[in-house]
């Protein structure tokens, strides 16, 4: 009797356990189905695109050359496509017309900045580069443009600043005449000192401890492949900043950023102690005038982050372009010979380069244009986001959707460029040898958020390159050509550090 009763209870227990197991399996199946549905669902009329893997999305496909892999998907999903970056759907613009339709024709709708945790922590919601679109950004943008122009941007005064720095740059190169050396630091010092002249009203010796310390920080996060890869990943997968060992690297990044801001703040404090309202010496003084009138938007914290943005964006993009240019000179010596011949004919051996004679040097302009196409320094630009729901090309894109523009894809579009993989400055010259500027080359972005320092960048590239070619012939070390295909990729695409030989002409 006891055995029969036990068997019934045992069977009943098995049935309950079986039922619980079935419910668990059913719940797991429902959760799986819901997870798959959630992962693959899109807003109505949203652009098509790949979803990749759970949690990380398409990131495994983007590690080495994100711009190239995104461009390949254009043939499958179209020029305006979506892609899952981490756990968010981003829009990718993969050709010229797509960028025109969004950044230009719908510029205000696509001028926001996404809420990326890493940039938010580093900028504290201030500065200019990652500042979101709105009243504050418009005021800061207007101030930046007017103030930089007031201190010589696009005028003869700025040319004098750049030519002064060109002299010091060439003196540093001359010290290495005939020897193998890295020009990386010299170019960083040169570009950074131009910015120092505008922001601080003075330049620094290249061995100044404050100056060299600043560049060590910039190099660490823009020119070291280990750090640039991690920084790029943090922008796309923010939650990794809480996971060792990335957590420690993120702390190091924030510490370096804090150190830079502290150094800039010391310069601001010095300006405040000597400030005179009737003697505006530089960018800082001009900002202090605004601070005395409107403290909410023009704050001390805004100023120090503004300066940081000017240095980070202004230094690495232009120095990186010049490093690519020198690589092109030694990889394609015939272009160097043509540049020198044109420089000699127009400027002479001892004349000073000037923007007033730029139109007389079409090959030099074509060379710079081709460098910016051939090696796109900012392949995906800074990410934008929509400021409202917007319809483009039949697609509906919700507000606060992150958008990236694949400038590399435009610069390498086979429909726009013949033999796009080749370096050919002549493609930018007409039959009479005149320089023809191409709208398809967009090194400074387009639309309302185009680069604040575009005019300064054009002056620096033309005057500094011409000055170097006039004084030196650049060669590779023992005919061992440095790599011209690989580089450090984060926000900026810079060449790997290389050695070069400069023979004085």
pLDDT in tens, 149-182: 877 655 558 899 999 999 999 999 999 998 999 9
In this predicted structure, the answer to whether residue 19 has a pLDDT above a threshold of 80 is: no
CA distances (Å), 420 to each of 148, 228, 233, 415, in order? 36, 27, 29, 10
CATH number, position 434: 1.10.630.10
* Whole-number average pLDDT of the chain: 90
Q: Which domain holds residue 443?
A: 63-504
pLDDT tens track for 291-318: 988 778 899 999 999 999 999 999 999 9
- Asked if residue 15 belongs to a domain, the reply is no
In this predicted structure, the answer to whether residue 463 has a pLDDT above a threshold of 90 is: yes
- Asked if residue 33 belongs to a domain, the reply is no
The pTM for the full model equals: 0.91
What is the predicted pLDDT for the residue at 415?
Answer: 96
Residue that the structure tokens 């709208």 belong to: 439
What is the predicted pLDDT for the residue at 370?
Answer: 98
pLDDT tens track for 103-135: 999 999 999 999 988 898 999 999 999 999 999
In this predicted structure, the answer to whether residue 97 has a pLDDT above a threshold of 50 is: yes
- Asked if residue 1 belongs to a domain, the reply is no
pLDDT tens track for 447-456: 999 999 999 9
Helix 362-374 to helix 454-471 angle (10° resolution) is 110
- CA-based radius of gyration for the chain: 27
Entry field: residues in the chain: 505
The phi-psi region of residue 188 (left if phi > 0; otherwise alpha if psi is between -120 and 50; otherwise beta) is alpha
What is the predicted pLDDT for the residue at 151?
Answer: 75
What is the predicted pLDDT for the residue at 221?
Answer: 87
In this predicted structure, the answer to whether residue 209 has a pLDDT above a threshold of 50 is: yes
Paired with 45 in beta bridges are none
Q: How confident is the model at residue 139 (pLDDT cuts 50, 70, 90)?
A: very high
Helix 300-331 to helix 362-374 angle (10° resolution) is 110
Greater pLDDT, 362 or 240: 362
- Asked if residue 229 belongs to a domain, the reply is yes
- Asked if residue 397 belongs to a domain, the reply is yes
Distance CA 463, CA 321 (A): 13
> Could you give phi then psi for residue 24, rounded to 5 degrees?
-65, -45
What is the predicted pLDDT for the residue at 2?
Answer: 43
- Asked if residue 54 belongs to a domain, the reply is no
- Asked if residue 58 belongs to a domain, the reply is no
Query: Which residue pairs from 55-64 have beta carbons closer than 8 angstroms and sit at least 24 positions apart in sequence?
Result: 55/86, 55/87, 56/86, 56/237, 57/83, 57/84, 57/85, 57/86, 57/87, 57/88, 58/83, 58/84, 58/85, 59/85, 59/86, 59/233, 59/236, 59/237, 62/236, 63/229
Number of independent structural domains in the chain: 1
Q: Of 260, 168, 258, which Cα lies nearest the Cα of 216?
A: 260
- Asked if residue 13 belongs to a domain, the reply is no
What is the predicted pLDDT for the residue at 156?
Answer: 59
Average pLDDT of the segment spanning 237-249: 86
- 26: tokens are 């059913």
> Could you give phi then psi for residue 154, rounded to 5 degrees?
80, 5
């Amino acid at each position: 009797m006891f055995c029969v009763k036990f068997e019934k209870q045992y069977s009943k227990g098995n049935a309950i356990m079986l039922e619980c197991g079935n419910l668990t399996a059913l719940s797991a199946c429902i959760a799986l189905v819901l997870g798959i549905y959630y992962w693959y669902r899109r807003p109505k009329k949203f652009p098509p695109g790949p979803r990749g893997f759970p949690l990380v999305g398409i990131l495994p496909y983007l590690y080495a050359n994100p711009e190239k892999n995104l461009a390949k998907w254009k043939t499958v999903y179209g020029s305006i496509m979506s892609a899952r970056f981490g756990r968010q759907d981003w829009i990718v613009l993969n050709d010229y017309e797509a960028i025109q339709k969004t950044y230009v024709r719908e510029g205000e709708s696509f001028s926001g900045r996404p809420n990326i945790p890493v940039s938010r922590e580093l900028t504290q919601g201030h500065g200019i580069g990652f500042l979101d679109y709105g009243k504050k950004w418009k005021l800061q943008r207007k101030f930046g443009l007017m103030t930089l122009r007031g201190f010589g941007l696009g005028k003869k005064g700025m040319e004098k600043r750049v030519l002064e720095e060109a002299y010091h740059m060439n003196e540093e190169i001359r010290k290495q005449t005939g020897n193998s050396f890295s020009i990386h630091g010299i170019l960083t010092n040169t570009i950074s000192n131009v910015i120092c002249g505008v922001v601080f009203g003075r330049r620094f010796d290249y061995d100044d401890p404050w100056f060299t310390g600043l560049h060590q920080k910039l190099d660490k996060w823009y020119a070291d492949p280990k750090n640039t890869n991690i920084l790029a990943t943090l922008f796309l997968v923010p939650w990794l900043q809480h996971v060792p060992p990335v957590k420690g690297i993120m702390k190091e990044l924030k510490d370096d950023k804090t150190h830079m801001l502290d150094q800039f703040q010391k310069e601001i404090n010095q300006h405040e102690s000597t400030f005179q309202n009737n003697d505006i010496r530089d960018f800082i003084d001009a900002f202090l005038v605004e601070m005395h009138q409107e403290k909410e938007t023009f704050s001390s914290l805004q100023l120090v982050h503004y300066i940081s943005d000017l240095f980070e964006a202004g230094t690495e993009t232009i120095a990186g372009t010049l490093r690519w240019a020198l690589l092109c000179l030694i990889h394609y010596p015939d272009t160097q010979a043509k540049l020198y011949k044109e420089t000699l004919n127009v400027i002479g051996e001892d004349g000073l380069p000037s923007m007033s004679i730029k139109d007389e040097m079409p090959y030099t302009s074509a060379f710079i244009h081709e460098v910016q196409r051939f090696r796109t320094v900012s392949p995906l630009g800074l990410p934008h986001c929509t400021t409202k729901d917007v319809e483009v090309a039949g697609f509906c894109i919700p507000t606060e959707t992150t958008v990236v523009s694949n400038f590399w894809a435009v610069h390498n579009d086979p429909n726009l460029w013949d033999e796009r993989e080749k370096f050919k400055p002549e493609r930018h010259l007409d039959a009479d040898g005149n320089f023809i500027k191409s709208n398809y080359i967009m090194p400074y972005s387009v639309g309302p958020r185009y680069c604040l320092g575009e005019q300064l960048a054009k002056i620096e590239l033309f005057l500094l390159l011409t000055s170097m070619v006039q004084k030196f012939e650049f060669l590779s070390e023992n005919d061992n050509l440095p790599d011209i295909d690989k580089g450090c990729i984060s926000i900026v695409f810079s060449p790997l550090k290389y050695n070069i030989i400069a023979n004085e002409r």
